[in-house]
Amino acid sequence: MAQSPMWKELTATEIRELARRDATVIMPVASMEQHGPHLAVGVDTVLCEGVCRLAAEAVQNEMPVIVTPTLWCGMAEHHMAFGGTFTFDIPTYRAVLMAFLKSIERHGFSKVLIVNGHGGNISALAAFLPDFAVETGLKVRATTYFELAQPAIDPILDNQERIRHACEGETSLMMALAPELVRRDRLPEAVGPSHSTPRPLGVARYRPYRSFTETGVVGDARNATKEKGDRLAIVCRDAIVAVLQDGEAWA
């Protein structure tokens, strides 16, 4: 039986051995936030950890790899009005991530792939990368799994080309990876605008979700199926695996 790739399931001795073998650390970061009337608030955390586990299991016979516990809180102010949500501010989020990375470094690891599972974290992570490079000796790379896999996601979905929020895509993934957290009786209500918010070219603004979706959904979850979720999980797994195996990504 293969050893688990999950940090939380290993002993300290086993983790030290992975560090000695220069294992690549996968660090899932996500959120805890409202996901409409039909999904549990842990969606981003469940899915991000799930696809990271799948990716690690796919490569662990070829290369040493370990998946840290998922950082379940992120940048989610835009969901607060719906309830059920936790959020960091920017200084706190940066400090927590830096503390995690420095702990990883102190244990002897050298490469970290941050895999993000929440759209609200994308800008912050990009802004923090220079700090991670300056303040640690780690090779830190960051990606958002559903953006990384977007070209392969598009053909699977019926009414959208990418993952939105509590939508056909996320709901299908939950049906595949955590079906007990899907309230199927609420699916008829799980529909919202097809996009989050239009914006003039080159102009940014902050808009909370409450201002453009009554349900907390962006997209249409009524089109979700487990079969789509199984296919989505595979393409998301494969996208992460490609980064782990790409020598140029770590040069």
Q: Which of 120, 9, 5 is nearest to 62 (CA)?
A: 5
CATH number at residue 92: 3.40.50.10310
**Quick check: is 251 in a domain?**
no
Backbone angles phi, psi at 166, to 5 degrees: 55, 35
What would the mean pLDDT of 30-48 be, rounded to a whole number?
98
Beta partners for 144?
Answer: 116
Report the domain count for the chain. Answer: 1
Residue labelled with tokens 């990876």: 177
The whole-number pLDDT of residue 198 equals 66
**Residue 30 in contact with residue 117, Cβ under 8 Å?**
yes
For residue 247, pLDDT over 80 is answered with yes
For residue 121, the one-letter residue type is N
> Does residue 159 surpass a pLDDT of 90?
no
Judge whether 239 lies within some domain: yes
pLDDT-based confidence at 2, cuts 50/70/90?
Answer: confident
**Residues 61 and 1 sit within 8 Å (Cβ to Cβ):** no
Report whether 116 contacts 145 (CB < 8 A): yes
Q: Is 211 contained in some domain? A: yes
Q: Stretch 72-100: mean pLDDT, rounded?
A: 98
pLDDT at 139: 98
**In this structure, is residue 121 part of a structural domain?**
yes
What is the overall mean pLDDT for the chain? 96
pLDDT for the residue 224: 98
Collect contacts of 94-103 with beta carbons under 8 A, ≥24 apart: 94/124, 94/128, 94/131, 96/71, 97/29, 97/71, 97/128, 97/132, 98/128, 98/131, 98/132, 98/135, 98/136, 100/27, 100/68, 100/71, 101/27, 101/132, 101/136, 101/138, 101/140, 102/135, 102/136
What range does the domain containing 193 cover?
Answer: 7-245
Q: Would residue 235 count as lying in a domain?
A: yes
Within a domain: 250:
no
pLDDT digits (tens, 9 = 90+) for 3-24: 999 999 999 999 999 999 999 9
Residue 58 to residue 23: CA distance in whole angstroms: 14
Comparing 196 with 108, which gets the higher pLDDT?
108
pLDDT tens digits, residue range 188-236? Answer: 999 999 876 666 677 888 999 999 999 999 999 999 999 999 999 999 9
How would residue 120 be classed by pLDDT, with cut points 50, 70 and 90? very high
pLDDT at 197: 64
pLDDT of residue 199: 66
